A and B are shown apart, each in its own frame.
Chain A
């Protein structure tokens, strides 16, 4: 009886840990930044596109002119997006689809669109977005009030 109880408890704990682990993988949020910017890779010069429209799940998330950046949020490790790229004025837009595998440890991923269209390796078009550190002059004040019942919304 005791052994059975122990096994059930251990099973429940393992199940909860497994569910938690799954949630950490499928729920990991990333911000993907799309750059329509010039790039130089191993001597190869890649120019910007005149216009790039980025679609995620059929919804347009960015409309980029040269040197512009757009962004989209992504939950999970795989990310699919479609683009409609126009190289020069008067050209017909070309359609591309990409599936990315996003690194777990990186919050913000920058994708250089001219480089990914050109078929360069991942190291050329993917980089980590590092937010600028803004020095906060004033320390945030922490108010510890246990008796406050006057909040606006409960």
Chain B
């Protein structure tokens, strides 16, 4: 028996849905094997995960606190990856968003402006912080041809060090310098009341709290969808992503596109940082075991890849993976080692990636007895 792979000339609509769904199912089967091999009962583990992520009292509120930053970082990755610009610096760009966003909140909130104005300043500050940080790899890519993958990633570590430095190793504007606690242990300055983002409580699961950031993320997704599907800019970006050469022949100014897309991607991640400060931490989180351990920027890449860089799908996936992450945090303990959720996410991503083959190619099984020669090569589709 021989399994051949041949290119599909058409891509049936049902496959586009069936393959990702099948891939996710396959991923859960594979992850079940990993669980079983390491001595955990897969069925009860999955049941626990699902309950802790979505069903238990208050679990959806917790899920939203994870899903909101993930939606931002997922959108940030999707915006850049769509142009085959692999910005994996959403992590660091988000840190810069928290720094500038928190700075804006402290400064404008401290001067006693109206809350709407302070929150607006925080969002803009966050966007600027993220965009500025993302422009470093952007410029290096556009003008010096340095791989944005590596530069954006390496800058994540620098941004993390800066975040820790501002709270733990210096007397910065963000650090609480007065009061008894501040002399005992370094703490960050809490945001004033007008810089804390509002929440809305829905009558679900005994009070589902929806943070402002969740709405902002949905708005962001909608804007991104419009920008990429309905504007010339988005069209040019997609052409550049599919074929750089074609874009150049068509007169697309690639350097500008690289800079614009990196700035856009960084701004979205930075807005996520502002939301993290305004919605959840209410102070700059400089703890190396705080925001920096959560790895939203990296999980955002998983979210974007699973959503196939479609902004609307990204938000939905962020919610689902947010539930998974939240369940992992809730259950973490001896029978539920940290890292398990990352394993499951990785396996899902692998099988979706591998499954994509089936949308582009078909498998043909030939039995040697009946067909001594391998199947004739199909006409090239390209």
Indicate, yes or no, whether A interacts with B: no
